[in-house]
Amino acid sequence: MNPPIRVLSVDETLRAAVLALDVHPDQRPFVGYTRDSLADVAVCPGSEALALLHGDAVVGYVRIDRRASALADHPLAPGAVALRSFLIDASRQGQGLGRAALEAIHAYVAGRHPDRERILLTVNVRNEAALRAYRRAGYRDSGGLYHGGSAGPQYVLWYPLGPSID
């Protein structure tokens, strides 16, 4: 049995491994670089950089923001934590780690932010693999598009952190 994914705050002991993470070139427009995300975390209050570990190996990264500021006008933004920059290293993709990582992230966010009702994210309409992965993990489509992304329009998806009424 594989060890579960652990979610840990990026500190100096994990920083180099997080910076070494990479995605396939065709995923770059959707994910960006971890170095840029880490720089944003340093200047954005309420933002957390998180390493995703499988055993002792850093296999992924995610940034969460307590304020879904980019989607502030979206009706689901109040009470949400925004999930951003989620990635599994290219060398570890296709091993089921994405789904396991999302489950670990859900548990982490629910425990760390018990006052939040949902996780909110955007996924580019051209990023079909990510869209399938999020849907398999239980994310729901909000029914609208976000047009503020640099790579084009994005679906707005959400995941309930507790009992939910549709």
Q: Tens digit of pLDDT for each residue in 38-81?
A: 999 998 888 999 999 999 999 999 999 987 666 667 788 888 99
pLDDT for residue 1: 47
pLDDT for residue 143: 82
CATH 3.30.980.20 fits 5-120, yes or no: no
Q: Which of 118, 124, 121, 116 is nearest to 159 (CA)?
A: 118
Q: Which of 97, 87, 99, 85 is nearest to 138 (CA)?
A: 99
109, 159 Cβ separation under 8 angstroms:
no
Q: Where are the beta strands (DSSP E) in the chain?
A: 5-9, 47-54, 57-65, 80-88, 118-124, 140-146, 154-160
* pLDDT lower than 50: segments of the chain: 1, 165-166
User: In sequence order, what are the residues at sequence separation of 6 or more whose Cβ sits closer than 8 angstroms to the Cβ of residue 61?
Assistant: 10, 18, 21, 34, 37, 49, 50, 51, 52, 85, 86, 87
Number of C-beta neighbours around residue 93 at 10 A: 17
pLDDT for residue 136: 92
pLDDT for residue 41: 92
Residue 75 has what DSSP assignment? Answer: T
Model's pTM, two decimal places? 0.89
The phi, psi pair for 58, rounded to 5°, reads -75, 115
